[in-house]
């Protein structure tokens, strides 16, 4: 199952977003993400959160249309996005995209990335849509992650937690073979794809793959 979650950050109506909306099996709205859904004229399958950021008329419309709602108290120990990810995890979702999780407050943008990289979600492949790039959170896997050059050729790879071990890059301008990249290193910034596809493989650590869209 492939799920798209709308959060309450900045949203750009890109071709990739339009393609995902038509392709995914289920759409979640994390609280104010429902406002984005309304503007896009789509009805989410699930609405999750304390519902303090959603426009009252949008909420009323979704209540009347039978949207499944997980209502949580305002005083809680997790963000609406984390609760949404927990719901997806409980339903066995394997592939998940996040939209409107960046922009606005830096603390929320960083928290959203860190939450998505939590160990408890490693069984879900999580991608993040941004106005000028797509981001993938890569845990060690039995299969290499394949990067499609049609989405853009500039790719940065950043250790997100601890050092990255056994990093192998194929199809890049600067390939690597079973290398260690230390946390805080800029070694993986601004690599370039060469060919239609490239692959990323590593054995330990969490890697942030940022692929910039061609202008």
All structural domains of the chain with their residue ranges: 2-131, 138-212
CATH topology of 2-131 equal to that of 138-212?
no
Q: In the predicted model, what is the mean pLDDT of residues 171-189?
A: 96
Confidence of residue 215 (pLDDT cuts 50, 70, 90): low
pLDDT of the residue at 142? 87
Q: In the predicted model, what is the mean pLDDT of residues 134-158?
A: 93
Cβ neighbours, 10 Å, residue 191: 21
Q: Where are the alpha helices (DSSP H) in the chain?
A: 15-23, 33-39, 56-64, 80-90, 106-116
pLDDT of the residue at 177? 97
CA atoms lying within 13 Å on the CB side of residue 210? 15
CATH topology of domain 138-212: Jelly Rolls (2.60.120)
> What is the Cα Rg of the chain in Å?
18
pLDDT value at 152 more than 90:
no
Closest CA relative to residue 102, chosen from 120, 122, 127: 127
Of 70-74, 103-107, 159-163, the range with the highest mean pLDDT is: 159-163
CA distances from 28 to 3, 96, 142 (A): 7, 10, 29
pLDDT of the residue at 105? 84
Query: Which residue has 């995209």 as its token pair?
Result: 97
Distance spanning both ends of the chain, measured CA to CA: 31
CB contact at 8 A, 160 and 118:
no
Cα(62)–Cα(46) distance, integer angstroms: 10
Q: In the predicted model, what is the mean pLDDT of residues 158-165?
A: 95
Residue with the bigger pLDDT between 88 and 77: it is: 88
Kind and range of the H or E run holding 160: strand 154-170
Strand-pair category, 197-201 with 154-170: antiparallel
pLDDT in tens, 13-69: 888 899 999 999 999 999 999 999 999 999 999 999 988 889 999 999 999 988 999
pLDDT in tens, 92-137: 999 999 999 998 789 999 999 999 999 999 999 999 999 889 999 9
Kind and range of the H or E run holding 105: none
**Who contacts 123 (Cβ-Cβ below 8 Å, separation ≥6)?**
89, 94
Class of the CATH-defined domain 2-131: alpha beta
pLDDT of the residue at 121? 96
pLDDT value at 195 more than 90:
no
């Amino acid at each position: 199952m492939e799920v798209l979650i709308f959060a309450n950050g900045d949203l750009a109506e890109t071709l990739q977003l339009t393609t995902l909306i038509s392709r995914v099996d289920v759409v979640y709205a994390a609280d104010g993400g429902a406002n984005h859904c309304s503007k896009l004229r789509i009805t989410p399958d699930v609405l999750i959160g304390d519902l303090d950021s959603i426009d009252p008329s949008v909420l009323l419309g979704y209540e009347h249309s039978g949207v499944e709602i997980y209502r949580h108290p305002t005083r809680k120990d997790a963000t609406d996005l984390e609760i949404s990810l927990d719901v997806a995890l409980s339903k066995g979702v394997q592939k998940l995209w996040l939209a409107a999780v960046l922009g606005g407050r830096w603390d929320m943008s960083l928290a959203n990335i860190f939450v998505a990289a939590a160990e408890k979600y490693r069984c879900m492949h999580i991608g993040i849509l941004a106005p000028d790039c797509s981001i993938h959170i890569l845990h060690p896997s039995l299969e290499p992650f394949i990067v499609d050059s049609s989405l853009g050729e500039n790719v940065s790879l950043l250790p997100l937690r601890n050092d990255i071990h056994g990093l192998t890059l194929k199809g890049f301008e600067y390939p690597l073979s079973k290398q260690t990249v230390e946390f805080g290193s800029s070694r993986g910034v601004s690599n370039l794809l060469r060919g239609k596809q490239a692959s990323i493989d590593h054995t330990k650590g969490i890697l942030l793959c940022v692929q910039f869209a061609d202008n």
